[in-house]
A = this chain, B = another copy of it.
Amino acid sequence: MNKMIPDEITRDDLTAMILRAKKRAGLSWAEIAGKIGMSPVWTHSAATGMNAFPEDKARAFAQLLGLPESAVALLAESPLKLWGQTVPTDPCVYRLYEIVGVYGPTIKALINEEFGNGIMSAIDFSMAIEREPDPKGDRVRITMSGKYLEYANW
């Protein structure tokens, strides 16, 4: 990057700026999400460049964290979703990959049995992460909801 491109912030710069601003503000993701009226999952993933905020939410988010005006457009822009690790190494993320490996064919079989020849959408999709109190140790509950999409045939 040279000085012909002086005053631009990249998506990665913005993510770093957001994480810093969040620390300074002393807010959790759940609190930020509550203040802008979106879920914590979407708020985190749009804040870190894996989804796009609706424009009004981008503005609210930028105001809440004191981001520059130019951040708003970037936050509302459809991002190129890239990840570099085919198999994730972080233990917390790997466990999810393992669940896909172990239960993937089962999920497919049960969707086929219940719905027919189709899949669960990852686009018309939402997810929540909650604490499930349990006397033997609290549990993490992840709920995914995706539209059933039937294969067209022609």
A interface residues with partner B (beta carbon < 8 Å)? 1-2, 4-5, 8-9, 13, 16-17, 20, 23, 28-30, 38-42, 44-46, 48, 50-54, 57, 68, 73, 78, 80-83, 85-127, 129, 131-132, 134, 136-154
Complex copy number for this chain: 10
Q: A98 to chain B: which residues have CB within 8 Å?
A: 89, 91, 94, 122
**Shortest CB–CB separation between residue A114 and chain B, in angstroms?**
6
**Shortest CB–CB separation between residue A124 and chain B, in angstroms?**
5
Q: A120 to chain B: which residues have CB within 8 Å?
A: 92, 95-96, 139-140, 142
Asked if residues B123 and A103 are in contact (CB atoms below 8 Å), the reply is no
Q: Give 29 pairs: A residue, B residue, CB < 8 Å, sorted on A.
A: A2-B9, A23-B73, A38-B153, A44-B109, A45-B102, A52-B153, A78-B117, A81-B102, A82-B90, A83-B102, A83-B104, A88-B101, A89-B98, A92-B107, A92-B118, A92-B119, A93-B107, A94-B98, A96-B107, A99-B122, A103-B127, A107-B142, A119-B123, A120-B140, A124-B151, A132-B145, A134-B147, A136-B147, A139-B148
